[in-house]
Each structure stands twice: as C-alpha cells, then as structure tokens.
Structure 1
Amino acid sequence: MTQGQITITLHERLSDIGQADWDACACPEAATGRPEDPFTTYRFLKALEDSRSVGAGSGWQAHYLSADQEGQIIAVAPLYLKSHSQGEYIFDHNWAHAYERAGGRYYPKFQIAVPFTPATGRRLLTRPGFEAVGRAALVEGARDVAQRNDLSSLHITFCTGKEAEAGAALGLMPRRTQQYHWINRGYADFDGFLADLSSRKRKAIRKERARAADFGGEIVTLTGDQIQPEHWDAVWAFYQDTGARKWGTPYLTRAFFNRAHDTLRDDILLILALRGGRPVAGAMNLIGASALYGRYWGCIEDHPCLHFELCYYRAIEFAIEAGLQRVEAGAQGEHKLARGYLPVPTHSLHWLRDPGFAEAVAQYLKAERAAVDEDIEILTSYGPFRKTSEEEHE
C-alpha cells in the first residue's frame, strides 16, 4: 500500500523487516547504551515470536507494520490482529460486549502494542528526524488496512503522552488510565528515599523490610551473565504459579524464558529469595535507559512481606544505584502507594470504525478521563511523602 511517496507494508515475521531497520526505529539510542524501551527492541519481540508466545492459537497474530520512503524504512510498529482482549491491561471488554449486543462484530481487531506488557513506551517507532511523518504514515496505514478488512477497531496501548497528542490530531480517541510509579528524586541511597517519607510511613517500611528479612534465607540480585540457565527453571515455576492464579493460563511459553537467557539477559534483572540455596520467590524486571520495569513475581513458599521486598524495595535500591529515573511496577495495585509509588497517567489511542459506536465511546472516555484525573489528584494527596508541616515537627 502506497501513501504518496511512502509505502506501507504488513509483515507476518519480524525477520522480514530485519534487526538493523527495526532497531534503527525502535531504539536508535541503544547504539551507545541501553535501549530506552527494552520491550520494543527486535530481540524482545523476536523472543515472543520465536517462542510462540504470540502467533497461531494465542489470539495475537503478528502483522508488523513498516513505512518505507524512497527505499528507507522510516517507521515501524508492533501490530497484532487480536481475537480477544486478554493480555492488554487497557480494558475494552465492555466495549466489545456493547458492540456485539448491538449486532456488531468486535473481534478481530487491530492492536499496536507490546503483548502482555503494561509499560509505557513509544509504539509508533520512527527513525530520528521522521517522527511526524512516520507516526502519521503508521496510523493512516493501520487504519486503512482495518477499514479495508472490515475490522471493528484499532487500538494503540501504553503509548507515550506525545504519541497520544499526535494520535488525537490524527483522529484517534485518546484514553487516560493510571498506574503507580516510583520516581527517583536524586536519592543517594534507600535511606535518602526513606527520609522523604512521613515518619509513620518510614517506620512501616522499615518494619516490612525487617519481617521480609526473617524468611530464613538470602536475597540475590542477578543480571547479565550472572543469570544461569537453572535460574530460569525457578522463574518459570514462579510465573506458572502466578499465571494460573491471575489469568488461568500463563501468556508466555517456557521457550520464551529460554530465548530470554540467550538474547535478553543483559536487559533483565532477577531478584531471587533463596532458602537453603533454593529459590523460593522471585521478581523479574527489565532494565531500560531511564527506568526499571517490574514484570513478573511468583513464589513457591509464602513469607510475610517478601513480595514487597523483592518487587518494590529491592527495585528501588537497584534504580538508585543505577541512576534510573523511575520504577514502573506494572498494572494496578493501590497497595503500592504506601510504598512510595505514586499515581501517574498512562495513555492509549483508539479508532472505532462504526461512527455511532465511536461517538458513544468518545462520551464515555470524556467522563472516564475526568474521573481518572480526580483519582490521581486524590491518591497523590494520600501519598507517603512528608508535608512541610511534618518536616517542621520531626
């Protein structure tokens, strides 16, 4: 498909685009350091594809999008044909039910996203210098393909705020949700972070950390070549346990973790609790240029406060030591607020082919956005950080 001088192409395999062109758009900064977003790199998405975590039978059928101008790929996007709404974390189940009750067919739909990953990052991936034209080409191309194939909708989830603004200007409907992120305020160490909290919250966190330390073992932090193949056996066991309880069936296959060891371990931080030398609980994180992303937690033994220690406090310690700006600890969870993770807006974009349905959803999103903004303001006021009056009396 050609738009002016730009050619839009759908690819069923990431290798059809190739690592050099993909990463030139997805993470050009990685040539001199870590990728800003470890989830949109060629190696991460290829691990999903090669492990069959996406593809036939998963409900995530890959149709990677590329925009070519005069023989050069200037933009790409991870586009999937979805037959359900699982593994997205931006919930549209009610939209689907309403549309189908009215006689429409909501699935399949198009989704520009990183599967199973509620982490903010660029979704319309452009070479430096081609941001505006590349974003427009990808949006118009995906929308055109959706229209020609009678798909109900196009969704771009966990995009950046800048992309949300650009998408709205291109006729997409912006949606605002919220997560809890920890922000590094230039702390030298964990005690520096604690010093920013009210005395009550500071004492509560110290008490939780002391309880976690009583589990009867040691906690290790591993990345890169420190991660050994046997560690993935433990991670897989943890992931299966959590997945079975949360989703019924885990999204990722065992083969994904094998691929992660081969191609992603420099991007991964494992925080494991060992008892008698055996992992009994653990958290898997991915490391970006400016953020640590908490992804999976699990355990085979229950110990008080160990979840908070591995997923939140050790993540904060690592971020401070590595000079990272924030920790994104995944979707939902008001319990994160008391532990220093404050509410922040997250963004998505939506296009619905049916004009009447689109108008109804637009009205819903307007009301939802006001409610989300109010929630963020209220929740922030209940955060654990010291107020000026408290500082004067401590």
Structure 2
Amino acid sequence: MSLQIIHSLSAVNAKDWDALLPNAQPFLRHAFLSALEDSQSVCGKSGWQAAHGLWVENGKLLAALPAYRKQHSSGEYVFDYQWAHACQRVGIAYYPKLLGAVPFIPVSGPRLLGDPAAASKLLQALTLRLAKDGLSGAHINFTDHLADKLLADCDGWMERIGCQFHWHNPGFADFEDFLQTLTARKRKQLRKERAQIAQQGFAFDWREGHELSEADWDFIYACYAQTYRVRGQRPYLTRLFFSLLSERMALAIRVVLASQGGQKQAMALSLTDGKNLYGRWWGCLAEWNGLHFETCLYQGMDYAIAQGLHEFDAGAQGEHKLLRGFRPTLTRSWHYLCHDGLRQAVRHFLAEERRAVQGYMDEAQTLLPYRQD
C-alpha cells in the first residue's frame, strides 16, 4: 500500500483514472485534466504544478485526488488572499500550497475519487507529508457530499462554505412556462430584456463539439481571451486547450454562437454530462446592451428546457442570476494548515464568515423572483 505523487496525468492510464469517477461530470475526466496539462494551461510556469495523489494497493489504483502545487491563489474561486497576506506580514511562508481542485473551474463535484476507504488512507498519508514537501497546507475546493463526509471525519481539516446560484428545471415545457412561475413584474422585465436583443438583430446557433471547425475555435478563443484583456489580465487557458478539448471530449461540448447580420459577435461555451449544463466561458468582440444575459443565461435556460436537463450552473458570479430565477446554492471547501497559529486564526475567521454566508443566503432567498402563491 502506498501514496504516490505524480506530476503528469499521462502517468496514469485514462481508463484506470476514469473508472474511479462516480458520475459523468466532465471536469474530472482524464481527457479534460490532461488537456489542461498538455496545452500548458496548467504547468509549473503558470504556477500550477500537477501533484496528483494516487493510492495504490498491490499494483492497482484504488483512489486519487487531482491536485496541484500552487505558487499563488489565482484561478481558484475560493479566495484565501487574506490568509496569504497575513502570513506575509508575520513572516510565515504561505506558498507553495497544495490544492485539490479542477483548475479554473468553480463547479462542485467529486474530489476524492475511487473507493472511500482507500481515499481516506490517501488523505491521511497526504497530510502527514505536507511539511516534508515544503507545503504550508492543503486545500480541497468545491467538494461533493462524499468528500465532505470523509474530510469531516479527518482531524485538522476546516470546512468553509460559499454561495453560488444555479437554475433548476423541474420539467418546463418552454421558457414561457418558466416565466409563469415568476411575479408579473419580473416576467415583464425578462421579456423586455430578450426582446431588446431580438430587436438588435441577434440570432443564436447552438452547436456540439463535432460541429465546430478550427476557424470556429479561433473565434471562440478570441472571445474568451477578450474577457480577460479588457481587465488587463492574461487568459488562464491557451488556444491549444480548446483544440484538445474538442478532440478528446467533443460529445460533452455545447457552444452557442451569437450573430448579427451574419457576423459572429459573441459565444458561450458549456459542457454537459447529459443531466446538467455547466456554463463555463463566454466572450464578445464588442459590447452590446443585454447580450451577456441572453447569451450566458437565457440561451442556456432555453437549451436546458429543450434537452430536459435538470440543472444549469452558469458560473460563479452572483446577484444578477438571483433576479433571473437562479437559486442560492451552498458550496463547500476544506482546508488543512500546518502552522498552529495560522490554523487557529483561520478557524476563527471561518466561524465568522459562515454566519455571514448563511445570512446572505437567507436574504437571497427572499429576493427570488418567484410567485409566492
């Protein structure tokens, strides 16, 4: 029995890795994670060095944790910058740290993969070697219920909660059927927003991965990169990642292209597991009033209804979704810190933060646009 740390997913057979996954969610699949590595979107140069944990018994892979040795806190969506800054002020080294997550993807899902008993052994062995490996601690973000249970039973791990907004489809016949569940004022607002886009002459075309050419991917990447450039940032993902994703996971890809006068102007890229839709990246070549809401939210809701998908997760950002029927949804992450003083300070911080997040979620429930009858 042993814990093994590998620095490239190519060291694991894709079938062996995927056999550990409990569901069809695309982000933990070997094809997705290896596309991040093979495209150099995730590499030591980017501050994300693969350090996947494997638990092997008698030569058989029984459990795994997709993980990365991090030199910064960018691209995580569970923000610990305050902890890092506090460490810097008092001379505690916060980086490097170990992060169990899907890079750049704030979607809750499996993290401790495989047999639960083996995953528990992996977790215990991993924490014992953190200090030896020069790591300040370990963090596992956006966990599912199985990981929550395992981590809650392990000494030293601290739970952190957060809030996202997801849209649920109980079986609507069409978008108008959904609108009938809203208050009259909200129905009017949403119809007006969609009508404004139609009046500007926009048309929308949904395509699956196999229907996209390299020229389409050039456009998709240009839009994606533009969302970072307008904020003066470098895109997390390389152009090659999208080609590799198309090659390896075409069946999971859904892209909606927004065109005006026959010219493509914007896109939103989602992935699906056949039950849920996960909106991941969007971008536009120019700013258009209301185009973001239509492309990223309403088009996804339309698609989920048409395909009978149960849930639409449109990303991490918040309140604008709440007012369009996306419900507050609790997320969890877990944190293990080696330094005693830092651990106690963070534990106190998390207790205060938990009360604030729970209060925020309670208030958000009162702002939902649904009719009360």
User: Of residues 215, 222, 235 in structure 2, which corresponds to 1:237?
Assistant: 222
Tell me, yes or no, if the aligned pair for 2:210 and 2:246 is still in contact at 8 Å. Answer: no
- 3-state SS in 2 of match to 1:259: helix
Provide the secondary structure at the position in 2 that maps to 1:385. coil
Q: CA deviation at 1:213?
A: 1.3
| Structure 1 Cα separation of the partners of residues 195 and 74 of structure 2 | 37
Give the corresponding residue for 2:346: 361
DSSP 3-state at the match of 1:159: coil
Query: Offset at 1:289?
Result: 3.6
Structure 1: segments with no counterpart, 5+ residues = 1-5, 30-34, 389-394
Does residue 373 (structure 1) correspond to residue 358 (structure 2)? The answer is yes
Q: 1:296 aligns with which of 256, 267, 281?
A: 281
Matches within 5 A, 1:194-213: 194-213=179-198
Unaligned segments of structure 2, at least 5 residues: none
TM-score, structure 1 length as denominator? 0.91
Following TM superposition, where does structure 1 have runs of at least 4 consecutive aligned residues deviating by more than 4 angstroms? none
Corresponding residue of 1:18? 13
User: Is the aligned partner of 1:43 residue 2:31?
Assistant: yes
Q: Give the counterpart of 2:149 among 140, 143, 165.
A: 165
2:110/2:143 contact within 8 Å kept: yes
Structure 2 matches for 1:247-286, cutoff 5 A?
248-286=233-271
Q: Secondary structure at the match of 1:309?
A: helix
| Structure 2 equivalent of residue 148 of structure 1 | 132
Partner of 2:68: 80
Say what the alpha-carbon RMSD is for the aligned residues. 1.4
Q: Hey, what's the Cα distance between the residues in 2 that align with 1:277 and 1:10?
A: 50
Give the drift of 1:134: 2.7
- C-alpha separation between the residues in 2 aligned to 1:38 and 1:78? 14
Q: Distance in 2 between matches of 1:165 and 1:280?
A: 45
Q: Kindly provide the amino acid, as one letter, of the partner of residue 12 in structure 2.
A: I
2-structure distance, mates of 1:162, 1:245 = 39
CA distance 1:153–1:376, change in 2 (3 Å): same
Amino acid of the residue matched to residue 182 of structure 1? W
Tell me the percent identity. Answer: 40
Contact map agreement 2:160 2:354 (CA 8 A) in 1: yes
Post-superposition shift, 1:143?
1.3
Equivalent of 1:59 in 26, 47, 68: 47
The alignment partner of 2:130 has SS state of helix
Per-residue deviation, 1:215 = 2.5
1:287/1:247 CA distance change after superposition, 3 Å: farther
Q: 1:119 aligns with which of 96, 107, 116?
A: 107
What CA distance in whole angstroms lies between the structure 2 residues aligned with 1:98 and 1:252? 30
TM-score with structure 2 length normalisation? 0.96
Q: 1:352 to 1:204 in 2, by over 3 A?
A: same
SS of 2:309's equivalent? Answer: coil
Shift of 1:350: 0.2
What letter matches 1:66 in structure 2? Answer: L
